[in-house]
């Protein structure tokens, strides 16, 4: 039987992770490790490979669309790849439970955001213990992703390199997650259910088949499989609209 799942918005996927708060804050506030890179013919490919292996090791299960998302990492320009890899080097100890809630490119830009926050020239733009302790995790993570995307976009626009994948729709997604702090999640779920259809029928008729994100990820762990046929986000919308 195929698994039927209503994909969750970013703010919903981040619910229930507050138990990681102290661990994450400790990692965010740790001194930045600044790696040194040598320019070479294969440096971009080698760094992209490290990032791919890191994300695979963190058991990522969600993708932006069908197909091999890791292949798109290799299309990012070399300077952006270096910044993402710097974030990777400063995120080795971050828990898998967080990465399992992110799509491949949410995680990529999350790494870039960690690096940007740790090394910002302005103190006000760096991680602050007070701010981290007083802000819910479901707001902290989208802010870091947003910072990572904007930092890479700035570099890309200066150099004229190729655009970074999914940047526009992901900025909208982060903004929605940040603005959704005061929205009742049950109301949001009701909205998603009421205006989507599956194979021409109302979703309400299929509610008994729906699984929570937690159950889905747990099931994947038990089966030791990675769902490949995922189309998480409709390009015309800022909330999940696809089924698989």
Closest CA to 32 of 110, 118, 121, 94: 118
Residues 6+ apart with CB under 8 A from 88: 50, 51, 54, 111
Give 20-40 pLDDT, tens digit per residue. Answer: 999 999 999 999 998 888 777
Q: Is residue 190's pLDDT more than 50?
A: no
Rounded to whole angstroms, how far apart are CA atoms 63 and 70?
9
**Average pLDDT of span 107-124:** 94
33 versus 209: the higher-pLDDT residue is: 33
Specify the pLDDT at position 196.
32
* Six token digits for residue 233: 């986000």
* Six token digits for residue 198: 């599956």
Give 79-104 pLDDT, tens digit per residue. Answer: 899 999 999 999 999 999 999 999 99
Rounded to whole angstroms, how far apart are CA atoms 1 and 82?
43
Q: 0.85 exceeded by the pTM? A: no
Closest CA to 149 of 179, 113, 177: 113
Q: Is residue 56's pLDDT more than 80?
A: yes
Q: CB-based burial of residue 76 (10 Å sphere; 0-12 exposed, 13-18 middle, 19+ buried)?
A: buried
Specify the pLDDT at position 243.
23
* Six token digits for residue 41: 């013919």
Rounded to whole angstroms, how far apart are CA atoms 221 and 215?
10
Band the pLDDT of 10: cuts 50, 70, 90: very high
**Average pLDDT of span 182-187:** 44
Q: CB-based burial of residue 233 (10 Å sphere; 0-12 exposed, 13-18 middle, 19+ buried)?
A: buried
Residue 142 region, left (φ>0) first, then alpha (ψ -120 to 50), else beta?
Answer: alpha
Closest CA to 137 of 239, 28, 14: 14
Band the pLDDT of 71: cuts 50, 70, 90: confident
**Which CA distances in Å does 244 have to 57, 128, 224, 231?**
24, 40, 18, 7
* Six token digits for residue 29: 């506030």
Give 134-166 pLDDT, tens digit per residue. Answer: 999 999 999 999 999 999 988 776 666 667 888
Across 110-124, 159-173, 185-199, 208-222, the highest mean pLDDT is recorded for: 110-124
Sign of CA dihedral 162, 165, 169, 172: negative
Q: Is residue 64's pLDDT more than 70?
A: yes
Residues 6+ apart with CB under 8 A from 70: 52, 55, 56, 104
Q: Which residues pair with 103 in a beta bridge?
A: 62
């Amino acid at each position: 039987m195929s698994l039927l799942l209503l994909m969750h918005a970013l703010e919903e996927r981040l619910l229930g992770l507050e138990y990681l708060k102290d661990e994450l804050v400790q990692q965010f506030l740790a001194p930045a490790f600044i790696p040194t890179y040598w320019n070479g013919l294969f440096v971009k490919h080698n760094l992209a490979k490290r990032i791919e292996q890191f994300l695979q090791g963190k058991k990522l299960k969600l993708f932006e669309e069908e197909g091999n998302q890791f292949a798109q990492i290799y299309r990012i320009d070399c300077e952006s790849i270096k910044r993402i890899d710097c974030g990777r080097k400063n995120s080795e100890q971050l828990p898998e439970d967080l990465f399992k809630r992110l799509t491949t490119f949410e995680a990529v830009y999350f790494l870039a955001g960690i690096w940007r926050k740790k090394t910002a020239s302005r103190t006000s733009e760096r991680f602050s213990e007070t701010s981290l302790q007083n802000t819910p995790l479901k707001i902290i993570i989208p802010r870091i992703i947003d910072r990572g995307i904007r930092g890479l976009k700035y570099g890309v626009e200066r150099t004229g390199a190729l655009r970074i994948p999914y940047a526009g729709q992901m900025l909208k997604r982060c903004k929605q997650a940040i603005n959704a702090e005061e929205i009742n999640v049950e109301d949001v779920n009701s909205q998603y259910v009421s205006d989507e259809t599956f194979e021409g029928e109302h979703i309400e008729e299929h509610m008994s088949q729906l699984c929570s994100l937690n159950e889905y990820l747990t099931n994947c762990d038990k089966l030791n499989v990675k769902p490949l046929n995922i189309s998480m986000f409709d390009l015309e919308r800022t909330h999940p609209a696809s089924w698989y």
